[in-house]
Amino acid sequence: MTAHTCLRWLTLGGGLAVILGTLTGTAAATVSEDPGALCSTLVPPDCSPVVKIKGDLRTKGGIAAAAALRQLGTPFSWGGGSSSGPTRGVGMGALTTGFDCSGLTLYAWSRAGVRLGHYTGAQFRQGRRVPLGDLRTGDLLFFGGGSGDPTHVGLYLHGGVMIHAPKTGDVVRTTQFLNSPYYRAVFRGAVRPA
């Protein structure tokens, strides 16, 4: 695989696209204002968008989504992540630099000027609840935990897709959560940070 291999690209709206590629085995993301030109430069002619994110990237949610997308492929690290980016985690994440789920959302929203706690339960209480049918790019999606605090958080992109840091041994990735029997069964709600 060469440094110019594009795996896929995501149109973010406002004429921006994120190119997700591989640089000697490491995931990379590049943002361009001309997705057609960048795509045609980096990939074969069959390049097609995988995810479209509607809305203006100048909104706080759009800024948070773009920041999270730039972290695709970053390792999961329990307790990892800060407003500055990936960090060494704690406990079982102490040897890995990366993000846990709430560290990724904390980082992404900090790029939009919004401060979130580094705990899923705290983030669940930081903002306005949003019905599933009213989701916007950047909204936080919460999962699990029964009647206690949720145990997982992701950031909504568009079309039923979220970006999240799933678990130890994995990396920051996108997931089609609306069509997932697992995620739909443990969905707890969505919050739009203020």
Residue pLDDT, tens place only, 18-50: 444 432 233 444 443 333 332 222 223 333 334
Q: What is the pLDDT of residue 155?
A: 98
Helices (H), ranges, the chain: 35-42, 60-69, 101-110, 120-124, 181-185
Average of pLDDT values for 131-143?
97
* Helices and strands, counts by H and E, the chain: 5, 12
Phi, psi angle pair for 16, to nearest 5°: -100, 150
Residues 67, 1 within the same domain:
no
Distance (Å, whole) CA 187 – CA 162: 12
Q: What is the pLDDT of residue 67?
A: 97
Q: What is the pLDDT of residue 194?
A: 79
Contact predicate 172/163, CB 8 Å: yes
Q: Say how many residues make up the chain.
A: 194
Q: What is the pLDDT of residue 70?
A: 97
Give the C-alpha distances (Å, rounded to integers) separating 15 from 34, 68, 102: 7, 18, 29
Residues 181, 137 within the same domain:
yes
Residues 179, 94 within the same domain:
yes
Average of pLDDT values for 151-169?
97
Residues 96, 83 within the same domain:
yes
Distance (Å, whole) CA 118 – CA 103: 6
Contact predicate 74/158, CB 8 Å: no
For the record, the structure tokens of 106 come out as: 């904390």
The answer on pLDDT for 101 being more than 90 is yes
Among 9, 28, 52, residue at a domain's last position: 52
Q: What is the pLDDT of residue 116?
A: 98
Domain CATH code at residue 100: 3.90.1720.10
Contact predicate 141/190, CB 8 Å: yes
Contact predicate 97/75, CB 8 Å: yes
Tell which residue, 164, 161, 148, 150, has the closest CA to residue 103. 164
Residues 124, 161 within the same domain:
yes
Instruction: Give residue 21's domain range.
Output: 1-52
Average of pLDDT values for 130-143?
97
**Number of domains forming the structure of the chain:** 2
Among 52, 72, 93, residue at a domain's last position: 52
Q: What is the pLDDT of residues 58-71, one digit of tens each?
A: 799 999 999 999 99
Average of pLDDT values for 122-136?
96
Residues 6, 25 within the same domain:
yes
Q: What is the pLDDT of residue 58?
A: 77
Percent of the chain clearing pLDDT 90 (strictly above): 69
Phi, psi angle pair for 174, to nearest 5°: -95, 150
Global pTM value:
0.76
Give the C-alpha distances (Å, rounded to integers) separating 187 from 15, 61, 73: 32, 20, 24
Looking at per-residue pLDDT, the higher value among 40 and 119 belongs to: 119
Distance (Å, whole) CA 31 – CA 9: 10
Q: What is the pLDDT of residue 112?
A: 97
Q: What is the pLDDT of residues 161-192, one digit of tens each?
A: 999 999 999 999 999 999 999 999 999 999 99
Residues annotated as catalytic (active site), given as ranges: 101, 152, 164
Looking at per-residue pLDDT, the higher value among 63 and 56 belongs to: 63
